[in-house]
Each structure stands twice: as C-alpha cells, then as structure tokens.
Structure 1
Amino acid sequence: MAQVNSCLKRVFIAFNLFFAIVGGVIIGLAMLSQIFTNMNQEQMMENRTSGLILLYVIGASTMLIALLGAYGAFKEHKVSLIVFLVFMVIGALLMIRIGIPTAAVRPQLERELYERFSRVLPLNTASEEVKHLADSLQTQLHCCGLFSSSDWNDAIPDSCSCVPTEEKDECQLVSYRNPINVFLYQNEQNRKSIYRQTCFPIIMHYIFIGFDFVIGVVFTLAGLAVIGLILSSIMIHQLRHPRRTTILFSIPTTFTPGPPKYQELQNPPPKYEELQNPPPY
C-alpha cells in the first residue's frame, strides 16, 4: 500500500526532472564557454579553468541529486529522501552564501575594473601579453583602445584599423606621428581610419551579462533547493507516519417498529341495556 500521497509523489518527481534539466543546461553552457574560449583566446586557459570546473561540478552535482530525489520518491525510499533533504539544505545555504556577496559586489565592479585597466596604460609600453590580448579584443569587438585611441599614444596598431567604405558610422580619422619622419605629422599620409568605439564599455557590457547570469543561476538553484527541501520534508513525514486504515461506522437502515401505544380490546365492553337488565342465573 502506498504510504505517500500520489499527487505529491508526481509533483516531486516532476520537480526533480526539472532540476536535472537545469543541471544539464549548466553543463551545456560550460561546454559552449569552453569551445568559444578555445577558439578565441588560448592564453586565457589558466584564468578560465577554475570557472569551467565550477560550472561542471555544479551541473553534475545538480543532476545526480535530482536523480537521487526522483528515485527516492518513485520507490518511496526513506534513506534516499533523507540524503536528498540534507543536500538541499547544504545547497540552499551555499547558494545564498555565494549569491548575496556576489550581488553586493556588482555595483562596485566597474570602478574596480577601471582602476585595474588604468594600471596597464599606455598600451604601447605594456607587456607583450597585454598587447596581444588588446589586439585580439580590438579585432573581435571592433574597438580601439581601452578608454580612447590615445591609450596607444602614436603607436596605433593595425587591429584598430577600420574600413570607412564598410563601416562608416564606426570609423573616425585620426592623426598619428610617423616615427620615421616627425615632420609629416600633419600630412594626409599620417592619418588613419580607426574604430570610434572604445573597448572598455564593450568589455563591461559582456562582463555584466556574465555576472547577471551567474547571479541568476545561483538564486535559481537556491530557490529550487528550498522547494525541494519542503517537498522532501513532507514526503519523509508521510513515510514516518503512514496513513492509518479508515474506520467506517455503519448506520442501520432498517428499523424495527415498536409496540403500539394502544391495543384494540378483543372483548368489547357490555352495552348499557345489558347492564340495566342482567340475565337471570
């Protein structure tokens, strides 16, 4: 005999299936991120490794815990549900612990990155690694310089070059100093068409998108963990206190009629004339 409410059981299994799908989506996003970063930046391998590992661990753990909860609900296995409940408590506390400080740091992120990027200026005197990274970003994002094209001083690289015939709105014409002949500075040959947009706003745009995505995933997992905690607690309670057999009280539908209040006399009383003239003995 089933000890858990069938409706609750179906809801809990459906919840765990959705929970497993969320874990699969996280793993898929980690794989896409790995593919794109492999295509774009090989030198960023070390910096992205910890983030990718974290995404893989979160996704795989989510799927395994969801399968454990679905199995415990389907088989009505108390130990599996208790283990699932423990993981839900730990997961909810961990996600809240990560999500709240992360959301609090977001408003300060732009100022901190501005200060950090300002330390590598000017770009023409930066390290070769920084130059290579800046060239790659300028080529991919169609921008020039972190905050302005003057970040390169007069050594504007070819990655800033913009073709006016194709992208007229994105290009601007600037003058730069020819290192061979400084007297040609105002000559037409020393003018260069570069991208008008700077790189820092574009970088911050993508960073905020990733930051908001992480915050959304963390709080979504926290909410799902709380829901799973509540549902598993109810199921464990029902397993510990199974439904008792219902006692039905039967009410008789037939009634035995009682004796009448008055009963007809078999011998009627004598008449008045007989009482006045009694028969002789």
Structure 2
Amino acid sequence: MTQVNCCLKWLLTIFNIIFAIVGIIIIVVTLNSQFTYANGALALDVHTFRKPELYIVGSIIMVIAILGAVGAYRESKACMILFLVCMILGSIVMLLPGTLLAVIRPQVASMQEETYRGYLPLDKAPADKRHEVDSMQREMQCCGLFSYKDWEGNIPDSCLCNKLEEMEGKCQTVDYRGLLQGVVQQKKSVYIQACFPIVSFSTLLLFDVVMGTFFTLAVLGLLGMVLSSIMIHQLRNPNRPVGVLMSVPAYFNQPPPKYEELQNIVPSTN
C-alpha cells in the first residue's frame, strides 16, 4: 500500500461520511416533504422538483461518497480519479440549476400574482380552480386569494371559522349587504388571512431551500475536488511533499545544534 499522509486520508474519509449524510438527509426529507399546497395550486408548479428526481440525487450522492471513502481508505488511485471526475461533474451540475433559480427568484412572486389574478372572480372561475382554492383555504385557514371579496359574496364553507378560531382572533365578521345585487345576506365569520401571501412565502422559502441545497452540494464538490487532487498527487509521488498544509517544513526536522556550535556562535566578552 502506498504511503499517504494520514491526516489527508482521515480528512477525506470524514468528508465522504458527511457527504453520505447529506445524501441520506435528502432522501429522508423527500419522504416527509410536501411541496405543494391545495393539490398543486401553486402558479409555478413545484412538482418540477419531483420526488423521484430527489431520490436519484440522494442515491447518487451516497454512491459517490462510498466510492470516495473506499478509495481513501484503500489508497486506490483508480477510485480517487473516478471520485475526482464525479466531483467535477457534480459541481457543474449543481451550479447550473442553483444559478438558474437565483436568477428567476425575484420574478416568482409577480408571476404567481399574475396567474392568480386570472382566477378572479373565484365564484366564476373554472370548477378545477375553485376546487384548488377551496382545498387551499381548508388547509391553510385562509379566505380568498387576496381577500374574501374574491368570492363576490358566494363564500364557500372552507372560509368559515369555528368558535375557537374566533376566540383566537383569526376571523372577521363579514356583512354581505350589497354584495349580491343588493340582496341582504346573513353575517358570517370568515378567516382574516388571505391565501396568496401564505402561498407566496412558502414558494419563496422552497426556492431558498432548493437553492441552498444546490450551492451547498457545489461547495462540497469543490472541496472534494481539492482533497482528492492532493491525494492523487501523493499516490503518484509518494516521496514528494504536497504543499505547506500536508508537509512539515525542513527546519523542524533538523536536529538541535550541539553545545559546541552554540558556544562558537556566542561572541566572547573579553
């Protein structure tokens, strides 16, 4: 087995353990996450980040991490070269979508609002859109996309509050007088919060999480490239020191001067 710096070997092994943990976290989060509200009512369909794709990403990360750990432990040049290639490709693959999401993020809220404005008035919207908003209201305890007035008086039961929610201050009493061609309606207690601000916040949060994941993986890939490159260099040149961090300066390895040498250096006082 080729002699490799022990610190580098353990550092690369720990790095791959952390890398494997990241892959496991992605898989676990995918199992428990819900990317949409109201049966896919988001204007930007977050099903773009489909669960099967995240399973594949997490699995690939774990396989690469195992490859790097085995290569570092066994000091295998072939495994480390393959690991380096995977790190280069992986960094590029992670940077591209992360950069794309960072570019389009400022326009996400306006794109969503424009799409939702097209639903109004909700009581005259297509049946599938009304069903989506109705499901959204039940799940997030809100009423209307921008206001309860989006329903133009035909407010569904999903907007109505119960007594406990009224006591918690989540509701407002609405008088329907004049909303339906002057016909007097009974007063009802509906949710104060509109749905669009909740959906917009959730979408931006999702973008931030996905962007952060991409850029974190890209940084880990760059770190893996550096460590694997240093180890490959040591495997090819086992007797050659690699950089200041991986080698001890020569003057630390020199024996201390003898007493006679020190005595000759000290000037005479006579």
Contact 1:92–1:221 (8 Å) recurs in 2: yes
Match of 1:150 in 2: 149
Partner Cα separation in structure 2 for residue 120 and residue 43 of structure 1:
11
Partner Cα separation in structure 2 for residue 132 and residue 183 of structure 1:
27
Q: Which amino acid aligns with 1:57?
A: I
Partner Cα separation in structure 1 for residue 165 and residue 31 of structure 2:
34
Mapping for residues 212-231 of structure 1, pairs under 5 Å: 212-231=208-227
Match of 2:81 in 1: 82
Deviations 1:112-161 (A, max 9, x none): 11001111111111222211111111011111000111111121100000
Q: Could you say if the C-alpha distance between residues 28 and 207 of structure 1 is closer, same or farther in structure 2, counting changes exceeding 3 Å?
A: same
Match of 2:201 in 1: 205
Match of 1:166 in 2: 165
Partner Cα separation in structure 2 for residue 27 and residue 149 of structure 1:
39
Query: Secondary structure, in 3 states, of the residue corresponding to 1:193?
Result: strand
Partner Cα separation in structure 1 for residue 51 and residue 21 of structure 2:
19
Task: Verify: 1:192 aligned to 2:191, yes or no.
Answer: no
Deviates more, 1:106-115 or 1:16-25: 106-115
| Displaced runs of 4 or more, over 2 A | 36-44, 46-50, 163-168, 175-179, 181-184
Instruction: Give 1:42 deviation, angstroms.
Output: 8.7
Partner Cα separation in structure 2 for residue 39 and residue 121 of structure 1:
19
Deviations 1:33-89 (A, max 9, x none): 2xx579974999x97375212211111110000000001111111111111101100
Instruction: Give 1:182 deviation, angstroms.
Output: 6.4
Query: Secondary structure, in 3 states, of the residue corresponding to 2:166?
Result: coil
Instruction: Give 1:235 deviation, angstroms.
Output: 0.6
Contact 1:124–1:153 (8 Å) recurs in 2: yes
Partner Cα separation in structure 2 for residue 38 and residue 97 of structure 1:
24
Instruction: Give 1:221 deviation, angstroms.
Output: 0.1
Q: Could you say if the C-alpha distance between residues 65 and 6 of structure 1 is closer, same or farther in structure 2, counting changes exceeding 3 Å?
A: same
Task: Verify: 1:232 aligned to 2:228, yes or no.
Answer: yes
Query: Secondary structure, in 3 states, of the residue corresponding to 1:172?
Result: strand
Q: Which amino acid aligns with 1:92?
A: S
Match of 1:57 in 2: 56
Mapping for residues 103-122 of structure 1, pairs under 5 Å: 103-122=102-121
Match of 1:247 in 2: none
Partner Cα separation in structure 2 for residue 191 and residue 230 of structure 1:
68
Instruction: Give 1:184 deviation, angstroms.
Output: 4.8
Q: Which amino acid aligns with 2:220?
A: L
Give the unaligned 5+ runs of structure 2.
241-270
Contact 2:38–2:136 (8 Å) recurs in 1: no
Fraction of identical pairs, as percent: 44
Instruction: Give 1:206 deviation, angstroms.
Output: 1.1
Instruction: Give 1:99 deviation, angstroms.
Output: 1.0
Match of 1:17 in 2: 17
Instruction: Give 1:2 deviation, angstroms.
Output: 3.7
| Structure possessing the higher radius of gyration over alpha carbons | 1
- Over the residues paired in the alignment, what is the CA RMSD in angstroms? 2.9
Query: Secondary structure, in 3 states, of the residue corresponding to 2:50?
Result: helix
Match of 1:28 in 2: 28
Contact 1:4–1:235 (8 Å) recurs in 2: yes
Aligned pairs, number: 240
Query: So what's the TM-score if we normalise by structure 2?
Result: 0.81
Deviations 1:88-118 (A, max 9, x none): 0011111111111211211111111100111
Partner Cα separation in structure 1 for residue 40 and residue 146 of structure 2:
25
